[in-house]
Amino acid sequence: MKPITKIASIVFGLVALLHLYRLLSHFQLSVFGYELPLWISVTGFIIASVFCWGLWQESKSIPIQKT
């Protein structure tokens, strides 16, 4: 398994958890005075979860090449 792929999967997993936390706690987030709607976190959670799962599966299936 490639370590960078596993690390990227963990990072995406943390991002997904942060989006889920925002959804469950109704935490308000504003950027430059504009309040971001919660649907952005729904989209972010889905995308980050899919990337996390896909990279985790890929990290398990790639053998390390010894040179």
Geometric angle at alpha carbon 10, from 15 and 31, rounded to 5°: 20
Instruction: Give the pLDDT score at 54.
Output: 93
Q: Give tens-digit pLDDT for 39-49.
A: 999 999 999 99
Q: Nearest 5°: phi and psi at 65?
A: -95, 125
What sign results for the dihedral spanned by CA atoms 33, 38, 39, 45?
positive
Nearest-10 Cα torsion for 26, 12, 53, 57? -170
pLDDT band for position 63 (cuts 50, 70, 90): low
